[in-house]
């Protein structure tokens, strides 16, 4: 959530930064509500100050010998009671204004970082670099979904029978490969300094609002009809919310967490896209990286998080490229984001496998995550960052294509062989 003080004091600058995202955001209703709220706040403060003064005057008058039942004291008490009634009348109006203002602020996206490339859409994203040889395969390669079904390690029709379209079941070596990838990624990220978390998979509305999925993206998530609970779209949500409404000890920062969870997304708006295989499913597994850091270190922490995600692809020897998203393609809560895209030879293209985002204090304001330095009275909002380290299904898809041999078998990446106890699928 954006700082209302920033909007109030620099509306033109905020408008310009939001305009870089390519959408129109009208700040006039927010500024109007904020002016009304501040007017009521000033009025309430003045009334409260006068009410406190009357209380003191009554005490001083009685102490000086005034009759507690006399006209002078009675008049003061009458004025005090009148002020209390006025204050009581202001409370619901002030509460209503705050709720309206919060609702509008929750609908505003984060401001792009000043270093984020300006662009209208994904065609203006900037390629930072490439790693690996993405054209080394000379024989024909079947798409990962086709080879997986041919090998009998993935079934779709039976999974659809159990659930619906965009669900799959992994069988035998397919299930083992998924499990091996999860363990391998966790092992690597724990070794890199992340503390593992196994969080709840069901999250409440407050948690989704804190990380920015609600209210804007309600249609993207699955909700339990009888409870205020949703299936987590990513471990970012429960892990970040471990610290919601807390004031952390500054000495405890930075906090690094990694977590494996199943993730659930409706994939609204993607009808007809990637209907086969492992790319765009309603349920998929992912290892997520989450950081809570001081503001002054967040840029460096972002670069380090990106390298931690890249290290998984490099260990698996999977060709990839790093893309810096432009302002028009940024996610709702991100101020700066890098996408990692892995090479899929059957399609002859790169596909996103990780997004590494810096949210600044955007999520922390929504979630109330602050910290206090030792010996100081005030608090500051922390900065939050996260990234996939990595999406498991898309990693498996890349392995099934990049490690596919001419005879239709799959060579197991060397770093996974100790987990799978085999060299070929």
Q: Quick check: is 91 catalytic?
A: no
Tell me if 158 sits within 8 A of 164, measured CB to CB: no
Residue 268: exposure state from Cβ atoms within 10 A (0-12, 13-18, ≥19): exposed
Cα gap 31→42, rounded to integer Å:
16
Q: Which of 352, 372, 373, 411 is catalytic?
A: 352
Q: Which of 207, 355, 357, 388 is catalytic?
A: 355
Q: Which of 34, 357, 394, 401 is catalytic?
A: 394
Q: Quick check: is 366 catalytic?
A: no
Write the CA distances from 212 to 2, 365, 373, 385, integer angstroms: 12, 11, 27, 13
Cα gap 344→401, rounded to integer Å:
6
Q: Which of 37, 265, 351, 366 is catalytic?
A: 265
Cα gap 151→173, rounded to integer Å:
9
Neighbouring residues of 51: CB distance < 8 A, sequence distance ≥ 6? 80, 83, 84, 87
Cα gap 191→393, rounded to integer Å:
22
Q: Quick check: is 276 catalytic?
A: no
Q: Quick check: is 352 catalytic?
A: yes
Neighbouring residues of 213: CB distance < 8 A, sequence distance ≥ 6? 220, 221, 233, 237
Rounded-to-10 torsion of CA 370, 373, 375, 379: -30
Two tokens at 161? 């029978």
Q: Which of 44, 50, 179, 280 is catalytic?
A: 280
Tell me if 177 sits within 8 A of 416, measured CB to CB: yes
Q: Quick check: is 265 catalytic?
A: yes
β-pairing verdict for 154-155 and 169-170: antiparallel
Cα gap 363→180, rounded to integer Å:
32
Distance of CA 412 to the CA centre of its chain: 33
Cα gap 241→364, rounded to integer Å:
10
β-pairing verdict for 255-264 and 195-197: parallel
Residues known to be catalytic: 265, 280, 352, 355, 394
């Amino acid at each position: 959530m954006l700082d209302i003080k920033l909007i109030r004091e620099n509306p033109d600058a905020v408008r310009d930064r939001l305009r870089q995202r390519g959408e129109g955001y009208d700040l006039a209703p927010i500024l109007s509500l904020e002016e009304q709220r501040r007017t009521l706040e000033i009025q309430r403060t003045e009334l409260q100050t006068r009410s406190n003064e009357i209380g003191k005057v009554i005490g001083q008058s009685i102490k000086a010998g005034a009759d507690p039942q006399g006209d002078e004291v009675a008049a003061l008490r009458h004025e005090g009671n009148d002020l209390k009634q006025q204050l009581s009348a202001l409370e619901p109006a002030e509460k209503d204004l705050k709720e309206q203002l919060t609702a509008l602020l929750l609908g505003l996206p984060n401001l792009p970082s000043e270093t984020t490339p300006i662009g209208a859409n994904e065609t203006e994203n900037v390629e930072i670099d490439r790693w690996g040889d993405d054209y080394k395969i000379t024989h024909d390669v079947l798409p990962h979904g086709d080879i997986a079904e041919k090998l009998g390690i993935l079934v779709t029709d039976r999974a659809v029978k159990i659930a619906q379209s965009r669900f799959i079941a992994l069988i035998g070596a397919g299930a083992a490969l998924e499990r091996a990838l999860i363990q391998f990624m966790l092992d690597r990220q724990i070794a890199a300094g992340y503390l593992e978390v196994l969080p709840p998979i069901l999250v409440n509305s407050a948690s989704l609002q804190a990380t920015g999925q609600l209210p804007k993206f309600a249609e993207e998530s699955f909700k339990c009809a009888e409870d205020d609970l949703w299936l987590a779209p990513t471990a970012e949500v429960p892990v970040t919310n471990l610290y919601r409404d807390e004031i952390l000890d500054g000495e405890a920062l930075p906090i690094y967490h990694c977590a494996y969870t199943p993730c659930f997304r409706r994939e609204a708006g993607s009808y007809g896209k990637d209907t086969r295989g492992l790319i765009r499913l309603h349920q998929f597994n992912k290892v997520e990286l989450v950081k809570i850091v001081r503001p002054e270190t967040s840029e460096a922490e972002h670069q380090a998080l990106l390298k931690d995600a890249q290290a998984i692809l490099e260990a698996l020897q999977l060709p990839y490229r790093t893309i810096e998203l432009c302002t028009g393609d940024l996610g709702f809560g991100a101020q700066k984001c890098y996408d990692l895209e892995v090479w899929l030879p059957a399609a002859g293209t790169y596909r996103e496998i990780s997004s590494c985002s810096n949210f600044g204090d955007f999520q922390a304001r929504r979630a109330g995550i602050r910290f206090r330095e030792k010996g100081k009275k005030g608090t500051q909002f922390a900065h939050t960052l996260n990234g996939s380290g990595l999406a498991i299904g898309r990693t498996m898809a890349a392995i099934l294509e990049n490690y596919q041999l001419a005879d239709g078998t799959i060579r197991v990446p060397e770093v996974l062989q100790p987990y799978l106890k085999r060299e070929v699928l």
